[in-house]
């Protein structure tokens, strides 16, 4: 919060309390007339002071508000003598949670991947970790979406073995498909699109696909291979099946060729740690079974 805004909050808050108290005590005075002069249907409004119980309650509430603002950070950038922050309270709650469940995580992480796959408690804990940390991108059912991999099928860009999955969770992945629109031109993009669809066994224009072979070998073969099978060790996708991260329609393939793609799987090492990452990896391995 800027200094100017902080002073605005401080002055506005304290000024409101002072004004409220001033209004309270000013209304304790009696004008000297028994009525306010208001009358309707023979009913007169008396000019009586506020009842003392109401005044005392208001004073107590104001004193409490002042004490609250002294202890807690309610006045702009003033931290308060209690040194309380939302982040600190959240961290304290996280630390208590971690201390409570640390023995369970340690016990489950000591299992082998096969043992975790067969253990009901490991599966339950792994699912909770998945929902809390992975479902935003991959979905609660792990079926992914446009640009987010489906974890329940047989297509694994970086491999499906336990070590590969655990490494992905801990260290993240960065995928880059360079744009080839300028190098290929519109005709080249269309021709390579048809050839890629041919590799995948999809309906295609045979004549255009034949023209796209040479261009594919020039720009794409280094990553995806001559047969389009990709390379799991480097994270290069397989192009000869019907599983497409960004879609296999002509317009979608052409867009990828023309503009490239950028993917980022964030690293979760700092957030999860080794033990929870291992439990999560064990759970992810079972999703396609």
- What pLDDT is attached to residue 38? 78
Q: Residue 16 burial (CB < 10 Å; 0-12/13-18/19+)? A: exposed
How much of the chain exceeds pLDDT 90, in percent?
A: 76
- What pLDDT is attached to residue 42? 78
pLDDT in tens, 30-71: 655 677 777 788 788 777 777 889 889 999 999 999 999 999
CB within 8 Å of 34: residues ≥ 6 apart: 46, 47
When the pLDDT of each residue in the chain is averaged and rounded to a whole number, the result is 92
pLDDT in tens, 212-239: 999 999 999 999 999 999 998 888 999 9
16-22 long-range Cβ contacts below 8 angstroms, 24+ apart: 17/62, 17/65, 17/66, 20/58, 20/62, 21/59, 21/62
Q: Same fold for the domain at 87-172+268-285 and the one at 175-265?
A: yes
Cα torsion 99, 103, 108, 110: sign: positive
> What is d(CA 51, CA 192) in angstroms, rounded to the nearest whole number?
87
The correct answer on CATH 3.20.20.150 for the domain covering 87-172+268-285 is no
- What angle, rounded to 10 degrees, do the helices at 86-109 and 269-285 form? 40
pLDDT in tens, 181-198: 999 999 999 999 999 999
E strands, 119-248, in order? 173-177
- What pLDDT is attached to residue 29? 67
Give the domain ranges of the chain. 3-84, 87-172+268-285, 175-265
Confidence of residue 155 (pLDDT cuts 50, 70, 90): confident
E strands, the chain, in order? 35-40, 43-46, 173-177, 261-265
In eight-state DSSP terms, residue 245 is: S
- What pLDDT is attached to residue 33? 61
**Looking at the domain 175-265, which fold is it?**
Cytochrome Bc1 Complex; Chain D, domain 2 (1.10.760)
- What pLDDT is attached to residue 191? 97
Confidence of residue 159 (pLDDT cuts 50, 70, 90): confident
> What is d(CA 222, CA 73) in angstroms, rounded to the nearest whole number?
58
- What pLDDT is attached to residue 32? 57
CB within 8 Å of 155: residues ≥ 6 apart: 149, 237, 238, 241, 243
Closest CA to 130 of 143, 118, 113, 119: 143
Give the tokens for residue 27: 């209304």
The mean per-residue pLDDT over the stretch 71-100 comes to 90
The mean per-residue pLDDT over the stretch 18-27 comes to 88
Task: Tell me: pLDDT of 128 over 60.
Answer: yes
């Amino acid at each position: 919060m800027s200094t100017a805004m902080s002073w605005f909050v401080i002055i506005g808050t304290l000024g409101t309390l002072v004004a409220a108290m001033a209004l309270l005590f000013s209304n304790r005075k009696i004008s000297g007339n028994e009525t306010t002069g208001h009358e309707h249907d023979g009913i007169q409004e008396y000019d009586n002071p506020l009842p003392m119980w109401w005044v005392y309650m208001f004073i107590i509430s104001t004193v409490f508000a002042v004490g609250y603002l002294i202890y807690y950070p309610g006045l702009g950038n003033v931290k308060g003598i209690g040194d309380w922050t939302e982040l600190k309270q959240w961290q304290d709650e996280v630390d208590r949670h971690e201390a409570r469940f640390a023995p369970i995580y340690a016990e489950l992480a000591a299992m082998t991947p096969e043992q975790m796959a067969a253990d009901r408690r490991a599966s339950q804990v792994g699912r909770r970790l998945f929902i809390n940390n992975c479902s935003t991108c991959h979905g609660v059912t792990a079926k992914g979406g446009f640009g987010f991999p489906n974890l329940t099928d047989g297509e694994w860009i970086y491999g499906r073995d336990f070590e590969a999955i655990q490494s992905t969770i801990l260290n993240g992945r960065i995928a880059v498909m360079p744009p080839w629109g300028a190098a290929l031109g519109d005709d080249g993009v269309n021709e390579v699109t048809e050839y890629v669809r041919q590799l995948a066994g999809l309906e295609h224009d045979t004549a255009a696909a034949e023209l796209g072979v040479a261009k594919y070998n020039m720009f794409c073969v280094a990553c995806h291979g001559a047969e389009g099978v990709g390379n799991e060790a480097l994270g290069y996708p397989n192009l000869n099946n019907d599983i497409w991260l960004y879609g296999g329609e002509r317009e979608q393939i052409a867009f990828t060729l023309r503009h490239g793609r950028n993917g980022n799987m964030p690293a979760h090492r700092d957030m999860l740690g080794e033990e929870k990452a291992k439990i999560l990896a064990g759970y992810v391995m079972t999703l396609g079974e």
